[in-house]
Chains A and B, each alone.
Chain A
Amino acid sequence: SQKIEQNSEALNIQEGKTATLTCNYTNYSPAYLQWYRQDPGRGPVFLLLIRENEKEKRKERLKVTFDTTLKQSLFHITASQPADSATYLCALEGGTASKLTFGTGTRLQVTL
């Protein structure tokens, strides 16, 4: 069965460091992979999308890589700030109906 795993339930890092979050998937061939941010009690907010034929995508302090051979995406936040503290979700899109399948999420805590 299809499975999407995000490396850890929680990640604690110090302000200014780079946070790296991992998204691994099995039994899936996504055409696109998306990353979202979700704050407690709120809906997800879109951050970045990367296509299957793209290796890397950047947006300000965010960087996403996509390795279809390893079936893995890495999400980096450089120069992290306490305001980056949230849960980050990866979501795969593929097949019909444009459905997104979400990973379990990683809760990032950035401390001073």
Chain B
Amino acid sequence: GAVVSQHPSWVICKSGTSVKIECRSLDFQATTMFWYRQFPKQSLMLMATSNEGSKATYEQGVEKDKFLINHASLTLSTLTVTSAHPEDSSFYICSGGSMGQGHSRQFFGPGTRLTVL
């Protein structure tokens, strides 16, 4: 099956610093990658959709200048949380997407736990 990796799996940083999270599709080319955020005991909330080589599309309420997304290749997307604050502490999950038989098929990474002190 299609595999998506994320790095790092967890990170602790000080308030005000920036953190970069990598998402890689290991055995397929993901023309579209999705970034989600999940707070404890809550569901996944889509933050943004990125297509290779173009600007990401952010969901309402997600600050694009704070959550920088780069999708430079068909196998790599990065999410940079700039000037992180404690309220940004969350579980960040990416997925690589492909269209199959008319529907979206997303393959999820294992997630990155961000803790901002």
**Interface residues in chain A, defined as those with a beta carbon under 8 Å from any beta carbon in chain B:** 9, 31-32, 36, 41-46, 49, 51, 89, 93, 97-105
* B93 with A43: CB separation less than 8 A: yes
* B42 with A31: CB separation less than 8 A: no
Residue among B91, B97, B99, B103 facing the most chain A CB atoms (10 A cut-off): B103
Cross-chain contact of B46 among A44, A89, A99, A103 (Cβ < 8 A) = A99
Q: Which 4 residue pairs are nearest across A and B when measured between Cβ atoms?
A: A98-B104, A43-B108, A102-B43, A102-B44
User: How many positions in chain B have a CB within 8 Å of any CB in the partner chain?
Assistant: 28
A27: shortest Cβ distance to chain B, in Å?
A: 16
Instruction: From known contacts A32-B103, A42-B111, A46-B107, infer whether A99 and B49 are also in contact, taking CB-CB under 8 Å.
Output: yes
Q: What CA separation (Å) do A30 and B49 show in the bound complex?
A: 19
Residues of A within 8 A of B104 (CB): 32, 93, 98-100
B94: shortest Cβ distance to chain A, in Å?
A: 8
* B43 with A45: CB separation less than 8 A: no
* B111 with A43: CB separation less than 8 A: yes
Cross-chain contact of B109 among A9, A43, A51, A97 (Cβ < 8 A) = A43
* A44 with B49: CB separation less than 8 A: no
* B42 with A41: CB separation less than 8 A: no
B103: shortest Cβ distance to chain A, in Å?
A: 5
What string of 1s and 0s marks CB contacts (under 8 Å) between B92-117 and chain A? 01010101001111111111010000
Cross-chain contact of A97 among B41, B43, B49, B105 (Cβ < 8 A) = B49
A75: shortest Cβ distance to chain B, in Å?
A: 15
A54: shortest Cβ distance to chain B, in Å?
A: 12
Cross-chain contact of B108 among A44, A98, A104 (Cβ < 8 A) = A44
B32 interface residue, CB < 8 Å from A? yes
Cross-chain contact of A41 among B6, B49, B105, B113 (Cβ < 8 A) = B113
* B97 with A101: CB separation less than 8 A: no
* B103 with A89: CB separation less than 8 A: no
